[in-house]
Structure 1
């Protein structure tokens, strides 16, 4: 019996000593939030064009046929100024699906009837951005000249940035209620835009992927009206090419394509329209 009591006493003593040591450790091991600023490392980017590779022979176009009678579709984005009476006093084209639409858009939208914008329960003058669906046809096309070049290894190819069109002075000086203050945006009652047929010379620039079999299977537009994608895609589908080669074997490559194309475009007409509610227009000075 005495032996059992001695063992229990020893256990209690050890447990008490461990608890005391643990409490003592926690007393000085307290968390301290100290912000230590660390230097930001510099990362040096290599000036490399991921589309460029070295080849012995560049690809060459052996056969191609410019398409005829191609349906074209696209969206014209236009900023319109609508007064408090719901009359469009002018328009500024922002993006065009095909060339030659500017004058027709401005002329046909001028005087169009809208439901005016509302703020505080009252009609307000305002700018509103519209997207207008347009359709037409390319009757004839002819390649004036074209070239293929290997991309610059050090300079990536970049798309052309459209030049922002400035509104005429009479529109810049009109007072418009900011879109953030409006409870309702202006909305067109009926939109009808049409442009007559015309001949145009269009410049096209794109990155083309040429396979080992001498086919173009995809492209990246760099300078191309959105409405002309159907024509361009159809044109590339007719290509038969001598592929690029390296060490005597054909290889797939990207090439930069540039061309001038003469097109006979039929009349272009609007088909749909909608208000772009998440885009605000501010006239460029």
Structure 2
């Protein structure tokens, strides 16, 4: 009995020693190169959904008497694949443009009339004094003599031949640069006072605009200042000194100029006649001399016409007015201005 009890106590001692040894055994740590590694996700071009990283749990700690299991390899975090974004090619969009090539099928100025308007038997015409500007450019040599003359904008082309002849007779104090006299193109503005005597009208017609009347191009004369400001001309490359590079511009000394004109004229307008018979809109289409545009714009509203009628009532109407006859002008130069911008390319 004593022997069995001693053997039983020995077994208990062995088991207690084994348990104490198991408690003293350290937990297995995986090698450093097998530690969890998470590859940083590169910054995306656009916000992406949050990525979830799944890490495998560590293997259980081995105990004494049990073979230690090799640590399970911890995989690196795999970024969630992003959907491929197809780049949409940029579209080429034409900028808005002004429609200029298509005309309406019918003339928008036309109106259905029972009877057309009529001009007065003897339209009132009076004398008028009007301002105008002639823009010219002359090539003046180092002695002050004009070699060439160009009219860039002329309000009275009927006087062109006489104007050209008289301008060629002008004399100048030549331009200078660096103390030396030089040859240059000299642009000038001649402010004129034009007295228009009451024209004699030999022929006139007033024709209503119909749906089939072609739309003409208007005569866009505009203002003198507006024309000059919009002008863009490159400096000459003919050996002359550009006017913008001279120290002293060529100055006119002797300035003969034609002082009168008497001869034929012609003009064509689209006019709107109100129900009261007054001309309240004038669109110039053509004129032998642009000075006539200013004259008739001032004169036509003083006329009283018989208005057009429809259903027994007077109505407004658009009409083409054609005039021709004899005109007479008296011209006087009020001022000569020196310009610092070329007016035309050589």
- Counterpart for residue 159 of structure 1: 218
Structure 2 match to 1:45 = 102
| Structure 2 residue 274 is the aligned partner of structure 1 residue 219 | no
Distance in 2 separating the partners of 1:129 and 1:208: 37
Name the structure 1 match of 2:138. 80
Distance 1:237 1:122, change over 3 A: same
- The aligned runs of 1:82-161 (5 Å cut-off) are 82-110=140-168, 111-116=170-175, 118=177, 124-151=182-209, 153=211, 155-159=214-218
* Mapped partners of 2:197, 2:93: distance in 1: 65
Hey, what does 1:177 align to over in structure 2?
Answer: 240
Structure of greater relative contact order (alpha carbons < 8 Å, 6+ residues apart): 1
Quick check: 1:259 aligned with 2:323? yes
Unaligned runs of 5+ in 2: 1-46, 52-79, 222-236
- Total equivalences in the alignment: 251
The structure with the largest strand share of the pair is 1
2:120 is the alignment partner of 1:56: no
- Aligned mate of 2:50, from 23, 47, 53: 23
For 1:35 and 1:21, the matched residues in 2 are separated by: 24
Q: Pick the structure with greater CA Rg.
A: 2
* Matched-pair contact (CA < 8 Å) for 2:146–2:171: yes
Name the residue aligned to 2:224: none
| 1:216 Cα deviation after fit | 0.4
Query: Which of 84, 90, 93 pairs up with 1:35?
Result: 90
Q: 1:166 aligns to what?
A: none
8 Å CA contact 1:133, 1:270 repeated in 2: yes
The question of 1:269 aligning with 2:332 is answered: yes
Alpha-carbon separation, structure 1, partners of 2:248 and 2:83: 65
How far, CA to CA, are the matches of 1:179 and 1:150 in structure 2? 52
**Once superposed, what is the RMSD of the aligned Cα atoms?**
3.9
Pair 1:282 & 2:339 matched = no
Deviation at 1:215, TM superposition (A): 0.4
Mark the CA change 1:79 to 1:181 in structure 2 (over 3 Å): closer, same or farther: closer
